[in-house]
Homo-oligomer: A and B are copies of this chain.
């Protein structure tokens, strides 16, 4: 039976480190600050906003929550974003996505100040991630995957890693982060002929596709470390990952649960990035 590797101990450890650092900063009169920028009242956004705010404040980061009407024009949205870009007291900006359709994301991502773009919306940060440039901000969820692997002592260098899914939210960035740490990486997706075969090659298997319980036990090699980034909620409100947890846990050596897995670390990584932005700016 696999060891169940939860997110909380990982988040707790990072939180402790960040709290200490921020205490020191405050003692010298500094104050890291996050601005969240939400358009409209989508439940997902509100839930993530609440989680991120709670976590950041717990660590000692100030949070300014900007909420704009769901029918705001692109022009007005850009004006609000520019204010945050220019506001020297704001170190990090989190824009909840997807934005409503009257706002062109491909334009906005080029407007957010890269040095405040703590969740890798700007192509500048996507580029730095691909290059492995440590001055950039990697996206929070893929970074949370890496934090979990490191916390639980999983050797990445030289490991056979399989990533299922190639979205910009999970698959592609996870693949790049694993590659930059010198794993041997393979990526499968909807056009892959034999996804199970790719999955089985992974000593580390990361799944982020948004299909509940897609990964069965015969997709997983004996002793694999399985990181489930999927969050699926059924009609009755039950949450499950992309991995068939009950079955796969009999075969894996370690497995993240859903909930209480990767998702529990994401907002802590966000806070970590705010602190990084603060230090770069001061």
Contacts and interface: CB of A to CB of B under 8 A. Distances in A.
Interface in A117-159: 122-131, 133, 135-136, 157-158
Contacts of A188: 184
A192 B124 contact: no
Contact of A126 (B130, B158, B179, B189): B130
A172 B183 CA distance: 13
A130 B133 contact: no
Contacts of A183: 191
A137 to B, nearest CB: 12
Interface centre among A106, A133, A184 (most CB of B within 10 A): A184
Contact of A172 (B160, B179, B187): B179
Nearest to A178: B187
B185 A187 contact: yes
A158 B122 contact: no
Tell me whether chain A's interface is mostly helix, strand or loop, or mixed.
Answer: mixed
A29 B196 CA distance: 57
**Residue of A135, A160, A188 with most partner-chain B CB within 10 A:** A160
Each complex incorporates copies of this chain amounting to: 2
A166 interface: yes
A247 interface: no
A163 to B, nearest CB: 10
A241 B192 CA distance: 30
The 6 closest A-B pairs by CB, nearest first: A123-B127, A126-B127, A127-B127, A186-B186, A182-B191, A184-B192
24 contacts: A106-B135, A123-B123, A123-B124, A123-B126, A123-B127, A123-B131, A123-B136, A125-B127, A126-B126, A126-B127, A126-B131, A127-B130, A129-B130, A130-B168, A158-B192, A172-B176, A179-B187, A182-B189, A182-B190, A182-B191, A184-B188, A184-B191, A184-B192, A185-B186
Given A122-B127, A123-B131, A172-B179, 4 more contacts: A106-B135, A127-B127, A184-B189, A186-B186
